[in-house]
Amino acid sequence: MPPIELVKTPPKQLDALIVGARDTGDGLAVVGLPDALTKTFGKGFGGPQAYAAAMGVTGKLGETTALSGDGVRVVVVGLGDAEPDPYDLRRAAGAGVRAAAKLAGSDPLDVAVSLDATEPELLRAAAEGALLGAYGFAGIRSEEQPAKIARISLVGPARAAGTEAVREGAVIAEAVARARDWVNLPANLLYPETFAAQAKELAKGTKLGVEVLDDKQLAAGGYGGLTAVGGGSSRGPRLIRVTWAPRGAKAHLALVGKGITFDSGGLDIKPPDAMYTMKCDMAGAAAVLAAVRAIADLGLKIKVTAYAACAENLPSATAYRPSDVLTMYGGKTVENGNTDAEGRLVMADALARATEDSPDALVDVATLTGAAMIALGDSVAAVLSPDEELVDAVMDAADAAGELFWPLPITEEARDKLTSQVADVKSTGDRAGGALTAAAFLEHFVADVPWAHLDIAGPAFVGGKSPDTHIGPGGTGAAVATLVELARGLAR
């Protein structure tokens, strides 16, 4: 990631300047222009507003327009129509930097982001968005790709609170980028064993503790979900546990992430189009691991235990079957409805294990159901929980983090669909309300610990293009920032 610095005014030496445009309802307002440019920018048009409007700028959130200023390239980025919140600034700053990066030739650019943000929470969101906009997956190539952005100057009141906010934004952006890197790694390179090695690497030089159970230990320990789902692959399952236990912590938060390094569907195999993006099916695990590292980097005074339930879901002679009955960690039996509903099985084991740590709250993150995408689309994550207080805490955390979440209910109807003729519970219902039945299934494994389930199937991965956000194609790092905010809230 490029370095970022909070500055009062943009530096003289600059390759691109990113300013904002708001649709005030009463015409366009260009904000963040430094004094030196206010007089010259759009002079022939009658001023900055008129110039931007003439060039097609509308102020729509994330819209970018590259214009020429007085010897500097100016990217005008839309801030939307209302008072910008963290979501708007994160997105606009990132879209602006992404648009600026497209202007780069062979040399990386020095850019300034000037969006008229003054409050620390807005500066933090802008810093985070700007850094995420500069992200690019290096890929696995024979020749290294040059960076597009050399450094970022964020314009704002240079006070201590602002500087601290920018530092925090950089920590979170780094965590989000780490999750994105993991999601973007293909499944022939990132599989349970190598993912566990990455978790150990993550903890190096920190006070994080890491424990890994391998396939033999999982089988011996009675982890029937991980063992069944991972059994179809030559690359065995792993359960990764990362702990952050600072002195003086009062609360204990447990995080559980779905770590299916590739989801082919298993014997209930997916059609090609649905399978192609399924290297993303470990995004929940990536989110909880990246989040616990950020929580440690920020020194938050809360105990956090992160679990990553990792397996590869493949069809083979050793694969589990639809109608198999599995005995999960803790002893409950499950009739498997569909081998493509593998996530809830590995999550059940990890949730049951996490409750043994007696956390005050338990939050799981998973690319769990296509049904969540049907319900909420590609950019909104679902939160499901019988605990209204925890739903509120997640929604507040998401607001502060600048991420989109929306509650879905866990209904009696959903619970009733999981009745099995042969086992304690069945893993699947029917197609209707699939995100709800998945949550109702997980509920069987959380004992009486306050618990919330985050389904990030929609926002975890961008298959096509996403020009006007801070996120490029591929993994997005969804939920990382929200989890860090949640921990911050519970630490208070």
Using CB under 6 A, list all residues that contact ligand BES. Answer: 263, 281, 338, 340-343, 367, 369-371, 428, 434, 457
Q: Can you say whether the dihedral through the CA atoms of 168, 387, 403, 438 is positive or negative?
A: positive
Nearer to Zn ion, 81 or 324 (CB): 324
Of ligand BES, Zn ion, none, which one does residue 428 interact with (CB within 5 to 8 Å by kind)?
ligand BES
Query: Least distance from C-beta 318 to Zn ion, angstroms?
Result: 18
Q: Which is nearer to ligand BES, 118 or 419 (CB)?
A: 419
371 binds, among Zn ion, ligand BES, none (CB under 5 to 8 A by kind): ligand BES
Q: Report what 459 binds from ligand BES, Zn ion, none; CB cut-off 5-8 Å by kind.
A: none
CB of 342 to ligand BES, least distance (A): 6
- Residue 434 interacts, among Zn ion, ligand BES, none and using kind-specific CB cut-offs from 5 to 8 Å, with ligand BES
Closer of 158 and 275 to Zn ion (Cβ): 275
Nearer Cβ to ligand BES, position 69 or 343?
Answer: 343
String marking each residue 296-335 x if it binds Zn ion according to CB under 5 A:
----------------------------------------
Tell me how far, at minimum, the Cβ of 371 lies from Zn ion, in Å.
12
Query: CB of residue 434 vs ligand BES: minimum separation in angstroms?
Result: 5
In the complex with ligand BES, the residue whose CB is nearer, 222 or 370, is 370
DSSP letter for each residue of 401-468: HT--EEE----HHHHHTT--SSSSEES---STTHHHHHHHHHGGGSTTS-EEEEE-TTTTEE-S--TT
Alpha-carbon torsion (477, 479, 482, 488), positive or negative: negative
Stretch that binds Zn ion, among 130-138, 162-170, 259-267, 304-312 (CB under 5 A): 259-267
User: How far apart (Å, rounded) are the C-alpha atoms in residues 359 and 449?
Assistant: 7
Is 181 one of the binding residues for Zn ion (CB under 5 A)?
no
- In whole angstroms, give the CA distance from residue 424 to residue 427: 10
Q: Is 180 a catalytic residue?
A: no
Is residue 343 involved in binding Zn ion (CB under 5 A)? yes
State residue 434 phi and psi, 5-degree precision: -60, -30
Smallest separation (angstroms) from Zn ion to the CB of 456: 12
Tell me which residue has its CB nearest to ligand BES.
370
Two tokens, residue 432: 């209707």
Q: Choose between 79 and 457: whose C-beta lies nearer to ligand BES.
A: 457
Residue 181: CB minimum distance to ligand BES, A: 19
Which residues make Cβ contacts (< 8 Å) with residue 265, sequence separation at least 6?
274, 275, 313, 315, 339, 340
Tell the smallest beta-carbon distance from residue 340 to ligand BES (Å): 4
The span from the CA of 176 to the CA of 482, in Å, is 11
Structure tokens at 480: 């990382």
Measure the CA–CA gap between 127 and 153, rounded to whole angstroms. Answer: 9
Q: Looking at 344, 353, 417, 426, which residue is catalytic?
A: 344
In this chain, which of 15, 263, 335, 468 binds Zn ion, going by CB under 5 A?
263
CA 324 – CA 263 distance, rounded (Å): 18
In the set 63, 110, 281, 364, which binds Zn ion (CB under 5 A)? Answer: 281
Please state, in angstroms and rounded to a whole number, the distance separating the CA atoms of residues 312 and 237. 7
Separation of alpha carbons 433 and 456, rounded Å: 16
Strands 381-384, 405-407: pairing kind: parallel
Give 194 or 338: the residue with its C-beta nearer to ligand BES: 338
Q: Could you tell me if 155 and 266 are in contact, meaning their C-beta atoms sit under 8 angstroms apart?
A: no
Q: Whose CA is closest to 123, among 14, 6, 17, 295?
A: 6
Nearer Cβ to ligand BES (183/481): 183
Minimum CB separation of residue 355 from Zn ion in Å reads: 23
> Catalytic one among 151, 200, 270, 332?
270
* Cα 18 to Cα 7: distance, rounded to the nearest angstrom: 14
Paired strand residues for 303: 252
Inter-CA distances, 165 with 32, 126, 170, 184, 492, Å: 19, 10, 9, 28, 17
**Catalytic annotation present for 344:** yes
Partner touching 369 among Zn ion, ligand BES, none, CB below 5 to 8 Å by kind: ligand BES
Tell me how far apart the alpha carbons of residues 355 and 353 are, in angstroms, rounded to a whole number.
6
- State the catalytic residues: 270, 344
Return residues touching Zn ion (CB under 5 A). Answer: 260, 263, 281, 340, 342-343
